[in-house]
Chain A
């Protein structure tokens, strides 16, 4: 009987220790948790960001240090963020939204979920990437190219159609446009600007193009040598891997590629508008832009030099109009999915 007691107390004690360790870590957060749940508290800024994670964290730390304001950040893909915003419609939580898809951001503006703000430094930011009424600003962009494995590939591909050649059979992949906003942007921009685009895509399919996974997964396949190249590879991911010593390189075909802007906007029902404005200003400031270039992205402010990568002016670009793109993208996606069914 007594041994039974001891056993029970040991278990309870262990459990309690776990709970307390968890709780003590939670205490400081719990306080701010209560704050964000009540509508009247204004000190916390809630940011929903599509990343990249490293950059989002650095921006958060730098902002908190500079202004002393606290940020609560939810990180996820563009799709997940949109889903969460939709679910929270009756009880909005987010103040600032940072998305990786220009079309989706424009869609948010169209459905009246953003508010306009004349940010500082707005004139320095690339106008093609931002909304002329100030609803969102393209604080960064990523260029989409062909990322390939330098160990397996001796002749880098030069044109999009190169990948239909026999030496690439079953050796290339592409992120799934239904999962990857940038892949969808790529298909949208490519087929919009180039009349022969669908034919090329068809030829890729015949050559065994594998379409699956999000951006990182497709790139991982190339890094581990499973595939030789990724079409619509995201540049900053490739550059980061390259800087880590991985055998990967990215090229942009001369016929032009899509540069996909990533923008920031303030939610219409934001509770903490003042800090939200400060955050947008921070992203567009020289300091914020420097952090952007550190993450191997293209900065919205052209004056800031890029970090160890191809600059915007050296990337052959396709003309893409992002206004009203959301609706058109649905049709493109359906056509693409039907083709690859």
Chain B
């Protein structure tokens, strides 16, 4: 078929290499080559710093805890959403993605404002001081990050569970022994491959997370690796070589984790979607199950969205921050300022949308091609491409961006996109390509071999196979990837801070600069507007998708 020729491989490889690998090489060179000679002294400097091991340990510990936290939230949630009466509320999916859409910087600021001494909680319910103290600890940080990252895992698990419906469930009901046995022996193992992929990404996202550790972590004295790297790049004295060597170290750690995931994942991948009875049954639950699911969902929504957004919205409405929650302290000034015609906030917001849409479309197309080539990553070439396309996901965004800057500033380049808006789009595409590849790959991996086989027998030609069979089957995965890319690129902060051309702001960098130097209320107002718009957009996309599905069925 088209995607298997040698030419395709060469093309894809070249594309991925230029944009994804060259920054890494630039970093390598910058770290190890001083004044034109190979120089490994940097490694010595790095390992001599005892902060290295402390922050690394912290990062890994945080990663493990957040995996537990997100599993605790995402797994029951996915089950509730697919197995109980809540499965008909499709809007829940979009609402559940809101925590992930919130720029992490803002989310943790919301929690801090709520829980701190004299914060909103204590203003509303005096006597809750003990809660604040226990919250400002590693537990609080894990909680915030789990509530922020769980939608990621939830979407993967839910998609997997949805595909398991059908003939497997029927077979289990007919031949299985008891519901519990069905659970442990059939359904959970089938989920394993998606789960392992999910927790790998969560682990790495936690390792790469910057916003929450920078705001919350600094309050509790919990330093992580990314804040270390970031500080070498943005506080004085600036030490880019230390930053690049630290990121190489982080990269190796992530590589090891990724390799383990690959081994496990390949063992547990099963073809699930076999094109037979995708029945979705109407469910009537026992009242206990209904109660528990509703309770669980409400608590999660309250914690993940209710509390941080309460702080965010209240702050955006406050007139005088020092007066806290008192009557008459609220107005819409901040919003009015955002929506005036020449407002910098509005321009920043439109920039974000433009960048994100272009990125989503570009990565969807490239990701589809790559995923179709990789399939199950059996040959060496496939595995190579798989690895390369995943690299942006396993190193912190900031490091990648530094590499991009180094590379595109190299003196021997004939032309450069540095300092233009094109560079921002390229950076975003590179940073977020893995998402679309992974989502599409995950959908693809659940296609049973029989589909390919019947396609090659009955399909007219390969183009026909792609257009009428594969792509429609993969469309939910592709669209999910596009939505995810859109959301993530809307909230991307660190990359923007470093490579935006002068006089250009994205929504996230504008919010950040309001917090650093300007008006916190204004920053919060733009954050609220951004999230509302993103949610509206997602509802639109979802509605279109469902209309399409109904038309097809």
Contacts and interface: CB of A to CB of B under 8 A. Distances in A.
Given A84-B498, A91-B411, A217-B515, 20 more contacts: A7-B544, A7-B551, A25-B350, A25-B354, A37-B419, A48-B502, A53-B516, A54-B518, A78-B236, A80-B234, A80-B497, A83-B238, A88-B405, A101-B236, A212-B221, A217-B215, A224-B119, A224-B321, A226-B118, A245-B322
A72 to B, nearest CB: 4
A87 B119 contact: no
B238 A23 contact: no
A33 B321 contact: no
Contacts of A53: 513, 516-518
B126 interface: no
Interface string A93-104: 100000001001
B321 A79 contact: no
Interface stretch (A11-19, A191-199, A255-263, A285-293): A11-19
A220 interface: yes
Secondary structure at the B interface, as helix, strand, loop or mixed, is helix
A26 interface: yes
A216 B515 contact: yes
B185 interface: no
Nearest to A8: B548
Interface of A: 3-4, 7, 10-11, 14-15, 18-19, 21-23, 25-26, 29-30, 33-34, 36-37, 46-48, 51-54, 71-80, 82-84, 86-91, 93, 101, 104, 149, 151, 176, 178-179, 181, 184, 210, 212-214, 216-217, 220-221, 223-227, 244-248, 326, 330
A225 B118 contact: yes
B503 A223 contact: no
Contacts of A217: 215, 515
Contact of B421 (A26, A48, A151): A26
Contacts of A90: 409-411
Interface residues of B, number: 64
A247 B347 CA distance: 32
A110 B153 CA distance: 52
Contacts of B409: 87-91
A183 to B, nearest CB: 11
7 contacts: A46-B502, A87-B402, A149-B322, A217-B215, A224-B119, A244-B320, A245-B319
B218 interface: yes
B513 A87 contact: no
A149 B117 CA distance: 14
Contacts of B324: 224-225
B378 interface: no
Contact of B416 (A37, A89, A213, A220): A37
A212 B500 CA distance: 27
A21 B236 contact: no
A82 B503 contact: no
Q: Which of A7, A36, A71 has the most CB of B within 10 A?
A: A7
B231 interface: yes
B322 A247 contact: yes
A25 B118 contact: no
B516 A216 contact: yes
A294 B515 CA distance: 20
A216 B221 CA distance: 18
A66 B411 CA distance: 36
B7 interface: no
Contact of B236 (A181, A223, A227): A181
Contacts of B355: 22
A21 B118 contact: no
Nearest to A248: B322
Contacts of A34: 420
A273 B418 CA distance: 22
Interface string B106-131: 00000001001111000000000000
B219 A212 contact: yes
A171 B236 CA distance: 28
Contact of A33 (B235, B361, B501, B551): B501
B248 interface: no
Contacts of A51: 517
B234 A77 contact: yes
A83 B30 CA distance: 14
A34 B238 CA distance: 29
Contacts of A225: 117-118, 322, 324
B218 A226 contact: no
Contacts of B58: none
B218 A176 contact: yes
B340 interface: no
Interface string B500-512: 1111100000000
B218 A79 contact: no
A77 B235 CA distance: 8
Contact of A214 (B240, B419, B516): B516
Given A37-B420, A54-B517, A224 B322 contact: yes
A18 B354 contact: yes
A21 B320 contact: no
Contact of A29 (B231, B353, B402, B504): B504
Nearest to A91: B409
Given A51-B517, A52-B517, A226-B117, A79 B238 contact: yes
B237 interface: yes
B376 to A, nearest CB: 29
Contacts of A23: 354
B471 to A, nearest CB: 11
B178 interface: no
A246 B544 contact: no
B517 A4 contact: no
Contacts of B236: 78-79, 82, 101, 104, 181, 184
B82 to A, nearest CB: 25
B455 interface: no
Contacts of B160: none
Contacts of B419: 33, 36-37, 93
Nearest to A38: B415
A216 B321 CA distance: 13
B281 interface: no
A111 to B, nearest CB: 11
B264 interface: no
Given A33-B501, A46-B502, A74-B502, A83 B233 contact: yes
A129 B440 CA distance: 59
A37 B347 contact: no
Q: Which 4 A-B pairs have the closest CB atoms?
A: A22-B354, A3-B551, A225-B118, A72-B502
B520 interface: yes
Contact of A179 (B235, B420, B502): B235
B406 to A, nearest CB: 6
A26 B348 CA distance: 11
Interface string B79-99: 000000000000000000000
